[in-house]
Amino acid sequence: MRKYPQTKFSIFGTGLKIGLVVEVGILATSFIWFKRLNNSQGLRYEYSQKHPKFLEYYYKVDDMIGNSQIRKSDHEAWKKESLMRK
């Protein structure tokens, strides 16, 4: 069996495949994170307390998609919740 030397192009192809797999993994994780935040107001409240920057990015993406009412409804619900606790 002959062994052929590895060329620059085959190394580039391997790196490209690894990069593509990593990119798809990051995209899938981002989508799952967005769906969880989109469906759970309680999780958004938790993120507003612990990770406000991440929640701000979520609101920006959501505004670009066209659903700008989520931020307003969250703040109204959280205000009512804090009034009910007092």
Domain spans of the chain, in order of start: 8-85
Is pLDDT at 14 greater than 80 in this prediction? yes
Band of pLDDT at residue 63, cut at 50, 70 and 90: confident
How far apart (Å, rounded) are the C-alpha atoms in residues 43 and 36? 8
Q: How many CA atoms within 13 Å lie on the side-chain side of 40?
A: 14
* Chain-centre distance for alpha carbon 44: 13
What's the predicted TM-score (pTM) here? 0.68
Band of pLDDT at residue 84, cut at 50, 70 and 90: low
Nearest to 33 by CA among 19, 5, 54: 54
